[in-house]
Structure 1
């Protein structure tokens, strides 16, 4: 299974902000933040320490584990949303993860 989700403005803004602190260009920052978010989701669901994904323009392409695939299917069924929409909501929850650490370091 492959799930494609558009990168939200919220997620893009967080990636750019995160990248600015690390002097990364926008694409590198987006790829790193996408990996962080998707890995957190995958790890919470399956315990995995790896995630298979691509960033194609402003779209995230996830190759979920079987466990994550089942969770997204169940949540899709219970909410009436597509699996991509459910994943998009989860990804957005992790948009600002790790930014607080960067902001705290900048204040020191």
Structure 2
């Protein structure tokens, strides 16, 4: 099942700052930061080393691996949240990850 969420202002600001330091356009910086976050989450849960997603205008659509899908469903049920919301929260945790030393 495809999960869709809007990136937080915190995530968008971190992606923009990261992109500015690398002279990347905002949309490209956003996509790279989303990919980094999703890769970390997928790797931790399923061991996956690749992700495919759609990201535009601050919105992300992603079809998680079966392992991540089950993990999110279980945690979302415990928290009383939609799995899409939970994935968005997990992605937000990685907002400042992958900044250069001294950043963040």
Fold conserved between structures, TM > 0.5: yes
Structure 1 gap segments, 5+ residues each: none
Give yes or no for the alignment of 1:68 onto 2:73. no
Q: Show the 5 A alignment for 1:28-67.
A: 28-67=28-67
Confirm or deny: 8 A CA contact 2:27 2:56 kept in the other structure. no
Q: Show the 5 A alignment for 1:1-108.
A: 1-101=1-101, 103=103
**Paired residues, number:** 104
Structure 2 gap segments, 5+ residues each: none
Shift in alpha-carbon separation, 1:72–1:91, aligned structure 2, 3 A: same
Tell me which protein shows more helix as a share of its residues: 1
Distance 2:52 2:102 in 1: 26
Q: Pairwise CA RMSD of aligned residues?
A: 1.4
Give the TM-score normalised by structure 1. 0.91
Q: Which has the larger radius of gyration?
A: 1
**Deviation string, structure 1 residues 30-76 (Cα, Å, up to 9, x no partner):** 00000000110011000010012110321011110000000000011
